Structure 1
Amino acid sequence: MVLQDNGNVDKSEGKGRAAKGTAFEHAATARRGILEAARRACGSAGDLIVRGTRTAGSAIAKCWRTVVSALNPNASSNLDAKQVFRIRRTVVFSGIAAVVLIVAVVVAVSVHANRSAQADKAGTVVSAQTSKTKQSPSAKATKKTTAGKTAAENSSVKKTPEQSDTSSSSTDETKRQVEALAASISDEESATIKAKADETAHNSGKPVTQYTYCIAGKGNVGALDGFANTVYRVLNDPRGWPRAGATFVKGDGDACNFTVVLSEAKYMQTFDSGCSAEYSCRVGDNVIINLDRWNGGIGNWMEAGGNLARYRTMVINHEVGHALGHIDNETTCAGAGKPAPLMQEQSMHLDGCTVNEWPLDDELWRS
């Protein structure tokens, strides 16, 4: 029983292996058939593509030859007239369409670029305006000051004919006054000037004193005749120190109460370290007039209404006032718009007063 059962099992296993081998053969056959069918299909498709490409190429070439022939006057006679007309019309319209398209593209690009530029410019302007609104008060003040200065410069440059005429007349008048002060003095005129000074001094009610002064120069100051004539006329003017009882005569040598010196600015401090190269000075018996101030006056005083003739008169009276016992700023400005005291340092400050070259009533004294 046991041996018979084993034989049956062996037979069954042999039949199974035979069935599996047959299935494998059928599968391989089917796979080969599929691959062959695929190869044939791909070959057919390739042939179709090749034939289609060749056909399309032939059609394009034929069409191109037809167009070229239609556009060629010599060859177009071999074509139908209507066909030639249609071809030529199509080519012309196509060319026009291409040109129109190109122009449209160029215009569109230009418009876009222009709009972009305007947008950038607008953005820049807005940024600038925003920056302005964020300026500090000091920056605004600076801008306002600069604008004011520019306006003042423009107004000084762009003068009306009337302003030019007035300025010219003022310059001519100042020149005439300067020349009149410096003009030569005859003996007769000198006596007349002295007589008026004596009369004023005697009528002042003050003790009368005659002072003798000398004239000198320091450095390259040129001839002193005009300077000496101006000093004589100013000191003996009835509006000046004669109202305090003082009269003046020009002397020589050592017989002088004080010396009026015209000095180059660079030598001012040789008289005393307290003197300045910018201004005039009095040291002991020397009344020193700064040559720079003598020739040009000083800006703030001139701008406040003075001129060179008046400045020369003021500086002589002021410095000689020191020789008579007065000191700087012993009397100050009494109020805006009023004449400045003679002994106020008008070259440095007016304090609201107007320029003045003559001693005020409360300055009419001598020590």
Structure 2
Amino acid sequence: MLFSQLPDDVLYHILSYLDYRSLSRLSQVCKSTYHFINRDVVWRRVAKDFLNTGITRNGTDIYGHIPLKKRVKTAQNWYDGVCRRTTPLKWKTKLLPWLQLDGDVLFLSQAADVETYYLRHDTRKLHRNPSEVYSGHKGDVCRFVLTDSHLVSGGSDGKILVHSRGRGRGMSMELSGHNQEVNCLDSKNGLIISGSRDQTTRIWTLSSTCPRDTIPMYDRVWSVAISPALSSFATGTACCENFSPLRIWDVERSECLCILGSQFRLGAGVLDMVFESPFQLLTCGYDTFIRLWDLRLNPRKCVKEWEEPHDSSLYCIQTDGNHMIASGSSYYGVVRLWDKRQSECLQVCTVYPPRGRNDTCRQVENTIL
């Protein structure tokens, strides 16, 4: 009996003993084995080692539409540092914007506006002209965040604007309350948390233009993040006072639940943070480290960290919810890609060609991945 004539359950059992390299080589034998081995059921066991079955820590599969074989290949390429580079859009100005990709639409800030650019499927590049412009600030946009129905932006004018997304959108809603620029904000499920240079954190809801609560921080607030469970949020300050810059707060009572870390140097402010799950938090800042905090432990502590090789401040981080971390630093506009299973940097991308430190150092502060 030929190999391809064996019953499916026997073939599945035989293939379960092969690793990803052997499966890939076997799929090149002929068309029939190629189509059979490309089935997700064949790669499910292998995918557990690479992708945790593709399920993120909050229980959702963000890549469910992509075949498991392709996902395993991409994950192994990440691990080996084999990554493709493309340039979807260029700017002649030296200003690096805040960026956020939503499907095939790129949102980016340009001075006081937030513009949207659609991806061209034929060339995999972005349209040159923006399709929509969200405006209203009297100063630069310091940070913005997307929800399913709104775009929320904070500006150097101290205002927070809530825009309805989509064509035919109505007027934006203005939330006033901060006396200085809004350095950071986050929004989930109608809840908005903002932090400002005026040393306060404010809690807002979409049903009112007045803050629901104001928390004095006694230090400049550089970063905030709402937990996926929506019951708590984290704040990061400039660390100019004699207390830890990282704190977890209760949303309903506006009370501090815990303080993270005690070994921060004076001035080691936390510039960006992101929740991977209700109990895992990634942070970065002036002390050049990316840190992973486990909030289930008592006391809560850092369980892993990655150091910027050039000893540069880290202004922003992003994660895919699985193994990949991207960080933006102040060193010549360098973006680093990390695999959490490794201690060394996976790949380096330079946003600008080096023209001297002063040309790019201050601009990267306004960049998010």
TM bin, normalised by shorter chain, reads under 0.3
State TM-score, norm by structure 2.
0.21
- TM-score, normalization: structure 1? 0.21
Structure number with larger C-alpha Rg: 1
Say which structure is richer in helix: 1
